[in-house]
């Protein structure tokens, strides 16, 4: 007797990046985490959390956070929904707007979770490949219930302009999801599109930009009609009490957040130039990672040369991604060490 649904039995499941014991002292550049600790205000709140309150359920609506995010970006709380990481938000979107059996689309390479969530839901997956040069997107796919676009793209790091996204939003018949997991590191974002395009939902996370991958918090901003439907689908208490308190503390410290973002962007731009000068091919990135490619040889060999030298990156055994690795931007000192390693291994790629 087979107990699992056919669509589950026949799929692979999402494979997260390797998460080593922190004491192993890797330069950990494989999950796009922020190299800086969260705001000191988060630490203060963490130390003063009332343990007795843990017996109580959290606010099911994350009301205070929605007010805070609304004030930061100029939206009403009714246009915002919070989730247990943006993974949760993507899942809620899929379940709210895609009837099982109907189509969900995206360009590839992209964040692999879109495909996995669609398959779990029993949706049809429609995808089109994108390749270099990345400034022109391929033709739009029609008749989709949901189209996911990671912008900036992951795992490559390029970004489409907001003008182009507007054109896409106007042509797409279903819900157009712009996943802005990395938008804080980019020159532009698409928040304004939600004001005039009733089908656009922007998805954000505090995992990368606020150094809070461990607390699990993401949110979506969009037209109130879309957001209110999503509220019916989310788990009732999907953002826990500790997360709500810690994220609030981080959002209140905008100065700390902006300083970290600036440093990461500066390090990314400096590192990209230096790596290119060594002879690596670099696609300009708008995110907190880059996708360097050695001149010759395969990405897997590059990954394997870095790994024993304690530099942990992400290799994707996928069409269009086999000639490089995805590498998160760490601190300036970490990236200087990585550059030395990349210079040392160069002879292997001549």
Ligand X SMILES: Cc1ncc(COP(=O)(O)O)c(C=O)c1O
Q: Which residues contact 194 (CB under 8 A, 6 or more apart)?
A: 75, 79, 200, 201, 202, 221, 222, 223
Site for ligand X in 19-78 (CB under 6 A): 32
Q: Could you say which of 30, 96, 189, 205 contacts ligand X (CB under 6 A)?
A: 205
Q: Could you say which of 35, 218, 292, 330 contacts ligand X (CB under 6 A)?
A: 218
Handedness of CA 218, 219, 220, 221 (dihedral sign): negative
Q: How far is the CB of 87 from ligand X (least distance, A)?
A: 4
Span interacting with ligand X, options 33-41, 53-61, 84-92, 232-240, rule CB under 6 A: 84-92
Tell me the two tokens of residue 325.
């690795």
Residue 111 lies near ligand X (rule: CB under 6 A): yes
Residue 86 lies near ligand X (rule: CB under 6 A): yes
On whether the CB atoms of residues 231 and 98 are closer than 8 A, the answer is no
Question: Other CB atoms closer than 10 Å to residue 284's CB: what's the count?
Answer: 13
Residue 150 lies near ligand X (rule: CB under 6 A): yes
Residue 91 lies near ligand X (rule: CB under 6 A): no
Q: Could you say which of 96, 189, 207, 209 contacts ligand X (CB under 6 A)?
A: 207
Q: How far is the CB of 287 from ligand X (least distance, A)?
A: 9
Per-residue DSSP letter, 159:
-
Tell me the two tokens of residue 99.
């009837």
How many residues bind ligand X, per CB under 6 A? Answer: 13
SS3 state at 230? helix
Residue 97 lies near ligand X (rule: CB under 6 A): no
Span interacting with ligand X, options 34-42, 83-91, 128-136, 241-249, rule CB under 6 A: 83-91
Of 119 and 305, which has the nearer Cβ to ligand X?
119
**In terms of DSSP bridges, do strands 80-83 and 327-328 run parallel, antiparallel, or are they unpaired?**
unpaired
Tell me the two tokens of residue 128.
């089109």
- Segment holding 168, helix H or strand E: helix 162-171
SS3 state at 41? helix
Of 207 and 285, which has the nearer Cβ to ligand X?
207
Residue 109 lies near ligand X (rule: CB under 6 A): no
**Where do contacts with ligand X occur on this chain (CB under 6 A)?**
32, 85-87, 111, 150, 154, 179, 181, 205, 207, 213, 218
């Amino acid at each position: 007797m087979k107990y699992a649904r056919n669509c589950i039995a026949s799929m692979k499941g999402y494979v997260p990046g390797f998460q080593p014991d922190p004491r192993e002292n890797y330069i950990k550049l494989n999950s796009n985490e922020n190299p800086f600790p969260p705001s000191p205000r988060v630490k203060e709140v963490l130390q003063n959390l009332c343990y007795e309150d843990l017996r109580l359920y959290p606010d099911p609506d994350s009301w205070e956070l929605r007010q805070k995010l609304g004030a930061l970006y100029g939206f009403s709380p009714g246009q915002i929904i919070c989730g247990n990481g943006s993974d949760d938000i993507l899942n809620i979107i899929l379940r709210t707007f895609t009837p099982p059996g109907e189509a969900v689309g995206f360009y590839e390479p992209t964040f692999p979770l879109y495909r996995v969530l669609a398959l779990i839901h029993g949706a049809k997956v429609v995808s089109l490949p994108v390749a270099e040069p990345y400034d022109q997107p391929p033709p739009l796919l029609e008749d989709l219930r949901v189209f996911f676009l990671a912008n900036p793209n992951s795992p490559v790091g390029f970004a489409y302009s907001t003008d182009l996204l507007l054109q896409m939003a106007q042509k797409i018949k279903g819900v157009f999801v712009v996943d802005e997991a990395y938008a804080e590191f980019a020159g532009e974002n698409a928040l304004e599109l939600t004001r005039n395009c009733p089908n656009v939902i922007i998805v954000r996370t505090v995992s990368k930009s606020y150094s809070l991958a461990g607390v699990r918090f993401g949110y979506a901003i969009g037209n109130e009609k879309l957001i209110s439907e999503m509220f019916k689908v989310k788990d009732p208490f999907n953002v826990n009490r500790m997360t709500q308190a810690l994220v609030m503390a981080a959002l209140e410290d905008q100065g700390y957040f902006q300083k970290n973002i600036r440093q990461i962007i500066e390090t990314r731009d400096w590192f990209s130039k230096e790596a290119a000068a060594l002879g690596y091919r670099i696609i300009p990135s708008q995110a907190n990672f880059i996708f360097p490619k050695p001149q010759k040889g395969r990405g897997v060999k590059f990954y394997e040369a870095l790994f024993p030298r304690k530099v942990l990156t992400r290799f994707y055994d996928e069409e269009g991604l086999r000639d490089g690795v995805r590498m998160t931007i760490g601190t300036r000192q970490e990236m200087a060490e990585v550059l030395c390693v990349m210079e040392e291994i160069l002879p292997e790629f001549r």
